[in-house]
Structure 1
Amino acid sequence: MKKSILFFGVFMAACFGALSAETFGQTVKLNSGYEMPVAGLGTWTLTGKTCENAVYSALKTGVRLIDTAKYYGNEADVGRALKRAVADGICSRSEIFVTTKIVPWSVDPAADIENSLEKLGLEYIDLCLLHQHGSGDDNVYSAMQEACREGKIRSIGISNFYTAQEIEHFINNFEIKPAVVQNENHIFYQGTELRDWCKKYGIYIESYYPFGGRGHTRQSLGNPVVLQIAAAHNKTAAQVIVRWHVQSGFIAIPGSSNLLHIAENFNIWDFELSADEMKEISNLNKNVRYENW
């Protein structure tokens, strides 16, 4: 056990050295006026103590963006981690950016929002997303918009919408336009055209599955181009990919329960990819998605 603790301490020191607190605060300003961190932790498939410990460790590492969803069934676990981190003086509530999502088949989205607030133990949600397409899209978005007016949510957005026409519906038919579109996005499905279209509305694309998602991470992390670039910077493939997302103007939320990987994925602030390296990775795009929701 002592060796494990020592190794973790050495690893963390190697990862972060003397990096300042400001290094952890790289953000973008959303069209809602609020700042959002550009790199965080996704919690899909994490539950119970595993989820709680992953979120707590991420916050201790310096991560300030935590992504969850009602559908994940782990909002209470995330909430316990947030409470612990604040109580332990790791961060304040105002420093944490929490995202959750409401499914389109919600019978009572207003009640679901209240339930999410209760489970998370928060007075407000930083970003609430319509989780995906469904028959209740407008009902859920209307409820999020109303909760935004009431101060229960600060920013709203959508997830799993991949065309300008789909996103325009929410821009044209609601008073509050989306601040974020969270989509599958990785080196083999780069979404750059949609990113460029969204820019004119101040909408940011947030990448879930930044390594391709479970079952596909080896294809990304083992890619020869990525590995060559990683070697040149004395970084890992994962760090190069997260750095590519951030430099490309995306927000990235890699998921992991491995405390070392969480720290590794966030240690991307002390290097920069060159224009040629960015182009090399851009050339890997195949417009291939792995999910169909």
Structure 2
Amino acid sequence: MKKSLLFFGAFLAMAAALAAESGKPAGQAEKTVRLNSGYEMPVAGLGTWTLTGETCENAVYSALKTGVRLIDTAKYYGNEAEVGRAIQRALAEKICAREELFLTTKIVPWASDPAADIEDSLEKLKVDYIDLCLLHQHGSGDDKVYRAMEKACKEGKIRSIGISNFYTPREVEHFVRDFEIKPAVIQNENHIFYQGTALRDWCARYGIRMESYYPFGGRGHTKQSLENPVIKKIATAHKKTAAQVIVRWHIQSSFTAIPGSSNPKHIAENYNIWDFSLTDGEMAQIAKLNTGKRYENW
């Protein structure tokens, strides 16, 4: 018995030493994941869909001040210039360094000149490279856009490439099999009522990271997610908000989450999810909420 206690004490001391060495409290989640491209990507960030003008710029700036280092935009959103201005403000004020940021944009499949679109994104975002560029969705120009992203990747203008709004292994396999550079990320609709775990598991064999847009269900469905009785009960148990529980669920499910908001309080709330963990039982309860049905059809 005495030997067992001594062994247990030594184990605790070793764990404490390792925690001290890493600078993280025991049980704290990693804030980044290494992509198959070799680059580190934050697992939580800010989405900017529907944000425009000063509202967008201020939201991105607020997120960066909060500690968020992943910012997601797209050519289609029409707000790359605003995102770029916010980033330049944060860099000028030394809130962060460029190498700490992970900036994502997307190119639409109907782009007549995707190489020119990439150059335009670089100019609007005011950066020398884009951390992740995605083919935004299905379209007749899928291959043309993906090849342009591959070329830009080889030229150092893009660090990682991927796809968005592709939901089956059959759709994704084309990009794995027929191109030189595999997707590093797939960004899809994903939330507690549509849990893309089957595609996530298939993608894992290729080291492809799944990223969730609409992590709360998207416009018109957020309330349904945040007021779900299961989520609210778990939030009460952890003294956290429903939004924090859902973001935490995404991360513990090996998804990256990019909730969108223009409210500084909500942006900070959505990112303050590093000091608690959901139990296996709680994860199982949330898994049962899956309906297998998406809200969008693109």
What TM-score comes out, normalization by structure 1 length? 0.92
Corresponding letter in the other structure for 1:119: K
The 3-state SS of whatever aligns with 2:159 is strand
- The structure having more radius of gyration, on CA atoms, is 2
Separation in structure 2 between the aligned mates of residue 172 and residue 195 of structure 1, nearest angstrom:
17
Structure 1 CA distance, aligned partners of 2:292 and 2:246?
Answer: 17
CA–CA distance in 1 between the matches of 2:98 and 2:127? 9
Q: Work out the percentage of aligned pairs sharing the same amino acid.
A: 76
**CA contact 1:102–1:113 (8 Å) conserved in 2:** yes
- Residue-pair matches, total: 274
Tell me if 1:272 matches 2:288: no
Confirm or deny that 1:236 pairs with 2:241.
Answer: yes
Distance 1:252 1:118, change over 3 A: same
Measure how far apart 1:171 and its partner are: 0.6
How far apart are the structure 1 equivalents of 2:78 and 2:267? 21
Query: For residues 248-268 of structure 1, what are the alpha-carbon distances to aligned partners after superposition, in whole Å with 9 as ceiling and x for unaligned?
Result: 000000000011000000000
The DSSP-based 3-state class of the residue aligned with 1:226 is: helix
Query: C-alpha separation between the residues in 2 aligned to 1:221 and 1:212?
Result: 9
Tell me the residue number matched to 2:31: 26
**Which of 189, 197, 200 is residue 202 of structure 2 equivalent to?**
197
Equivalent residues of 1:40, 1:63 under 8 A apart: yes
Residue equivalent to 1:185: 190
- Structure 1 stretches of 4+ with a deviation exceeding 6 A read 20-25
The aligned residue for residue 14 of structure 1 is none
Structure 1, unpaired ranges of 5+: 1-19
Correspondent of 1:103 among 108, 114, 122: 108
Alignment of 1:58 onto 2:36: no
Is the alpha carbon distance of 1:25 and 1:196 closer, same or farther for their aligned partners in structure 2, counting shifts above 3 Å?
closer
Name the CA distance, whole Å, in 1 between partners of 2:68 and 2:255: 16
**Against the structure 1 CA distance between its residues 229 and 245, is the aligned structure 2 distance closer, same or farther, given a 3 Å change threshold?**
same
- Of 285, 288, 295, the residue aligned with 1:283 is 288
For residue 123 of structure 1, report the CA deviation from its aligned partner: 0.2
Q: Does 1:206 align with 2:222?
A: no
1:95-154 CA-to-partner distances (Å, cap 9, x unmatched) read: 000000000000000000000000000000000000000000000000000000000000
Change (3 A) 1:180 1:247: same
Query: Which residue is 1:16 aligned to?
Result: none
Give the aligned partner of residue 252 of structure 2.
247
Report the residue type matching 2:176 in the other structure. Answer: I
After TM superposition, list the pairs within 5 Å mapping 1:134-213 onto structure 2. Answer: 134-213=139-218
Paired with 2:279 and 2:244, the residues of 1 have a C-alpha distance of 14
Q: Aligned in 2, Cα 1:24/1:62: closer, same or farther, shift over 3 Å? A: farther
Aligned partner of residue 183 in structure 1, secondary structure: strand
Query: Among 257, 260, 267, which residue is 2:265 paired with?
Result: 260
User: Do residues 46 (structure 1) and 51 (structure 2) align?
Assistant: yes
Could you say which residue in structure 2 is the equivalent of 1:91? 96
Q: Secondary structure at the match of 1:123?
A: coil
Q: What is the SS of the residue equivalent to 1:157? A: strand
Q: Secondary structure at the match of 1:45?
A: coil
CA RMSD between the two structures: 1.3
CA-CA distance at 1:21 after TM superposition:
9.8
Give the letter for the 1:260 counterpart: K
Show the counterpart of 1:10: none
Q: CA deviation at 1:25?
A: 7.0
Deviation at 1:288, TM superposition (A): 1.4
Match of 1:131 among 125, 136, 151: 136
Letter in 2 for 1:276: G
